[in-house]
Structures are given as C-alpha cells and as structure tokens.
Amino acid sequence: MNILLNLDISPSLEDDLIDCLLGFESLTSFSSFDLRRHGGDARSLAEASTVEKVTGRVRVLRFEIVLEEARLTELLTRVSSEVAKSIPYSVRQLLDTGCT
C-alpha cells in the first residue's frame, strides 16, 4: 500500500533534503511548498527570526512524498542521517493513486 509522508523542514535544509530524496531509488517524484506555522514547540520558536517571533508565524517547507509503506523506515532513517535529526513528519495511508 502507498502512503503519503509529509516532512516539515526549515528552509535552510531544502537543498540537503532534495539531494537525499533524489538519491532514494524508489521515489519517482515528490512535491514541496511553503507553509506558515503558528505556535509550535520550543525548538521551532528558538529557530525563528525576530520578525517571525513578532508576527507569530514561522516559515517552513512541506515535502509531500508518496512511497510504499514498506520503505518508510528506510527513508526516515536516511533523512535523519543525511539531512537532520528530529524533522517533524506525518504519515497518511492513501486509498488509491494513479492518473485519469
């Protein structure tokens, strides 16, 4: 079964994560886009710029990756070792994927 993996990263990690994902053989494509995070844990607030702290929102990048569920642990381990540890993520099962 395919899953959707969301990784939310600091913009400073973008190039490293793209390199890591492009090197993961079983991925054919992935998407990324800007998000504004409101609130959050102490770590994300500590990394926020002064403007972000004042406005109450932090810029992050979300990567959406479709992959086989069996490859999830392998990919997360690789991201942790090649990009950064403690990257927030979420996983959703996909009922179906394809093209019309």
Which CATH number covers residue 38?
3.30.70.120
Domain presence at residue 72:
yes
70 occurs within a structural domain? yes
The predicted pLDDT at position 41 comes to 60
Task: Specify the pTM.
Answer: 0.85
Residue 60 within any structural domain of the chain: yes
* Spans in the chain with pLDDT lower than 50: none
Residue 1 tokens read as 């079964």
Helix axes 72-82, 14-22, angle to 10 degrees: 140
In a domain, 99, yes or no: no
Number of domains within the chain: 1
Using CA atoms, how far residue 75 sits from 40, 62, 65, in Å, is 25, 16, 10
In the prediction, which pLDDT does 44 show?
61
In this structure, what token pair is assigned to residue 87?
């990257």
The residue range of the domain holding 79 is: 2-93
The pLDDT of residue 69 is 94
User: How many beta carbons lie within 10 A of that of residue 91, not counting itself?
Assistant: 13
Among 10, 4, 3, smallest CA distance to 87 is for 10
